[in-house]
Structure 1
């Protein structure tokens, strides 16, 4: 990604492209029908937007309902930005038969010229991309996909908290999730420093919030926790150095670090986190720099991430004695 592209403003700041496929899932006319086995979720383990969809898919028990296709953490050497299925036999997705994710975008919109992104939901029946709206995808999985949730599935998006969850999600997105990218993709000192200051001001606020709450809304994990986790878990291994978000590591925040360990040790979170893929992508394959600027393709040996398995002692902030979801 170089200056002059659609995602870099004149002042050097990063402006993420809009999602192309935003038709909602639902049971109304002109919505995407909710059907088991009809869709395939394409992701890469490196991507925080995609990761949170995979976490929710697993936590809610949708793994047999929505299939999963996994793209490589390494970008293919092409004139355009893309994702490829080099992890699969023959280098093609076994269900869709495609080599690059851009192919499924082009099938849906032959005029598509943007950056193909993950996650993207693909209609296997129609063989085309139908939804890449990462901001709302987890909410669809949590609501209109409820008929296919496993027995006693948690409620990550309780109705009485939705307005508050949506408001916090918006803040987390702009200042934290996308905030690290605004630092890493900035192409002027001023844009970088502005994004850096906003990011750490928000992390300081979240650190204070989590001093008295086990999770962002108290005793129970919600959609907001999934979204914050996806950035926090990548922070020390990738963003701190690759994106120059280096005022503090997450391990330096007592409450955020304990909170991250708590979530990491929760089924669906740590077991869907692939640190090798994350490090390979952000340090060797990130498309914001030219090949000769990637530190000569040396993969950092650290950091030591074993602390994620250590006791977090967060249960004392809750009225519950173990990890709890709302059911």
Structure 2
């Protein structure tokens, strides 16, 4: 299959590498020093203690994806609308677009651009980072849960799930993908903003009783808005998030990676979405807002 990686950062590059090894025609869209290094020396992926280097189509031009049948959409949330519009101009009308992004609102934007039947979503579970330009480092467990947003995309989701598993990417297919995404979103909101605002890894948050309590309060506020939005999460989902965090103690969250590199985070898109939802339901998110403001203050001083 011809597959495009729209946004070849840590997540896109990591999962794309399996598809390349499975002899699919994979094209990677990237930019800057990361792209320059990939074109010069290839894309290196360090999976636990195994390192592979792949040489494929690396480009900053979305036209390289013109004949792709599947697009793994992995750009930052703030770039979703603009990137999707550019992509729509070049890809075939039969191509599927599957978002591997954080949060639960990118699907809405992609559906506006491509239509509900062509958009798939994936809940991503992986600890990966760009160690240096052209080098991706991963550790721990990894898998995808994918699903369609309409009945028209169900068959495509099943076929892509099979394709991913054949490429050695553990991938389940869910009939309730947005509920799964909200559960992943819950985990992200509990740990991602707090880690970036306090410069702490997930393990350090778990070990600090004060930060751990703040994280739990964020979880409680999040499940309240989730339930009002039609996704019935409960206290048990917060407990599961903390249990899963034990497997990611050494993980530097994506927001903390951005802050440490002097980049703007996805706070406006990821946290802002929840805050906006809460305002619709006339609910207060005192803890979430406090962490958000602390993080925005840190961003301002980058």
Q: TM-score, normalised by structure 2?
A: 0.32
Q: With CA pairs under 8 Å and 6+ residues apart, which has the higher RCO, 1 or 2?
A: 1
Q: Which has the higher helix share?
A: 2
Q: Which has the higher strand share?
A: 2
